[in-house]
Amino acid sequence: MGPEVMEVTCHILETAGFDLEIVKPLCGMEAFKAQGNAFPDEAKRLCEESDAILFGAAEGPSVAILVYLRWFMDNYINLRPVKYYPGALSPLKNPDGINFMLIRENSEGMYPGREGDISWLARKMPDYKDPFDRTLDFYGEGKFALRLITRKGTDRIAKYAANLARERRAQGFAGKVTCITKSNVLRQSCGFFQKIVEEEVKKTPGIGYEHFHVDDAARRLIRFPRDFDVIVTSNMFGDILADEAGEMVGGLGIAPSACLGGRNPYFEPVHGSAPDIAGKGVANPTAMVLSAKMMLDYLGMKNEAQALEKAVAKVYGEGKHLTADQGGTATTKKMAEAVLEKI
């Protein structure tokens, strides 16, 4: 479904007359079918040479693109705004005024999966004793996954979070960082993350700080969604909470994101390839359009970004051209046309 929402988003950007040169290299499933490679060198070169990258969604062989853009380019910040546009179909009784930023550490933690056989680990670490004083061979057949939380990885995301809270404070938001971990269980790795974030935030004058365990945070998001300003968390917690938070403001069809901090930033919806609706022309293009809005902001095209966001907000406000996930009957193209008309 990536190509469907990408096509209409590019159509909006091109037809609105924004000063952009958009190149569309062959990649993804189309490239895989034609050349047996979802990410040909030419596409890679264009990603390296462009000013910013707009990305649809990956599944199967196309995940190679995401791996490149995220890890090879070292885009360690995954910024996922959670903002309610009146008219969007939220499951909450009162979603008005929800507006916060979820920062997901994007380079380490449980990603990219570092896994193996417990028997291999047991041979490598014969002296390791777990909290029950057992060596690893006690567990027999099974798998392990490594979770890495590094000084470098945590320092840089903590600095970004503190700075974003400072900037938002200047814009009239609370200016508060909420750090989310599971430090009651993962005392070392989550404890390390929590300590570094807390120290960094407390160095920033005027910025509030709080910490919640991820289970409690998942509940607070639903119960007190307006209490959040800037959330910072490790990779997999951020992945999960972003889908939850996206749903609170109307669903994955609306949730955009930016991957920043590396060689070249890229912008993508929070959602995936939605196999259940792919090819039907009914996917909500908003998440892709708002990801393009984040790209325009990054490129310094503030007026264009604002025009795009206002147009989206108007389409939701009027409620006449919404896709099925929002309770409407509009197709992807029809909703995108409505956004374009508002611009």
Residues in 200-259 at the binding interface with Mn ion, rule: CB under 5 A: 239
- Choose from ligand NAD, ligand IPM, Mn ion, none: what does 12 bind? Cβ within 5-8 Å by kind: none
User: d(Cα 219, Cα 224) in Å, to the nearest integer?
Assistant: 8
Phi, psi values for residue 237, rounded to 5°: -60, -40
290 contacts ligand NAD (rule: CB under 6 A): no
Give the one residue of 27, 38, 57, 157 binding ligand NAD; rule: CB under 6 A: 57
Footprint on this chain of ligand IPM (rule: CB under 6 A): 58, 239, 270, 272
Of the candidates 152, 141, 138, 84, the one whose C-alpha atom is nearest the C-alpha of residue 118 is 141
Least Cβ distance, residue 238 to Mn ion (angstroms)? 9
Asked whether the CA dihedral 171, 174, 175, 179 is positive or negative, the reply is negative
In the complex with ligand IPM, the residue whose CB is nearer, 105 or 309, is 105
- Could you say whether residue 90 binds ligand NAD (CB under 6 A)? no
Which of 294, 226, 222, 230 lies closest to 256 in space, CA to CA?
Answer: 294
Question: What is the C-alpha to C-alpha distance for residues 184 and 280, in angstroms, rounded to an integer?
Answer: 45
**4 makes contact with ligand NAD (CB under 6 A):** no
From CA 21, how far away is CA 137, in angstroms rounded?
58
Of these, 178, 233, 284, 291, which contacts ligand NAD (CB under 6 A)?
284
H-helix segments, the chain: 2-15, 29-35, 41-49, 63-67, 118-124, 151-170, 189-202, 214-223, 235-248, 286-298, 302-318, 332-342
Closer to Mn ion by CB, 210 or 244: give it. 244
In angstroms, the CA 332 to CA 23 distance is 22
For residues 119 to 158, the per-residue mask of contacts with ligand NAD, x marking binding by CB under 6 A and - elsewhere, is ----------------------------------------
Stretch that binds ligand NAD, among 75-83, 139-147, 188-196, 274-282 (CB under 6 A): 274-282
Which x/- pattern over 228-257 shows residues binding ligand NAD (rule: CB under 6 A)?
------------------------xx----
Q: Should residue 89 be labelled a site residue for ligand NAD when binding is judged by CB under 6 A?
A: no
| 323 CB-side CA count, 13 A | 25
Q: Decide whether 98 or 102 has the Cβ nearer to Mn ion.
A: 102
Q: Does residue 275 touch ligand NAD according to CB under 6 A?
A: yes
Q: Rule CB under 6 A: say whether 325 interacts with ligand NAD.
A: yes
Cis peptide before 112 (omega within 30 of 0): yes
CB neighbours of 306 closer than 8 A, spacing ≥ 6? none
Q: Would you say 58 or 161 has its CB closer to ligand IPM?
A: 58
If binding is defined by CB under 6 A, does position 283 make contact with ligand NAD? yes
Residue nearest to ligand IPM (CB): 239
DSSP secondary structure code for residue 89 in this structure: -
**Closest to ligand NAD by CB, 44 or 213:** 44
Window of 22-30, 39-47, 121-129, 282-290 that interacts with ligand NAD by CB under 6 A: 282-290
Sheet strand arrangement including 230-233: 53-54, 266-269, 256-260, 77-83, 99-105, 230-233, 176-181, 208-213
List residues near ligand NAD by CB under 6 A. Answer: 5, 57-59, 66, 252-253, 268, 271-277, 283-284, 287, 325
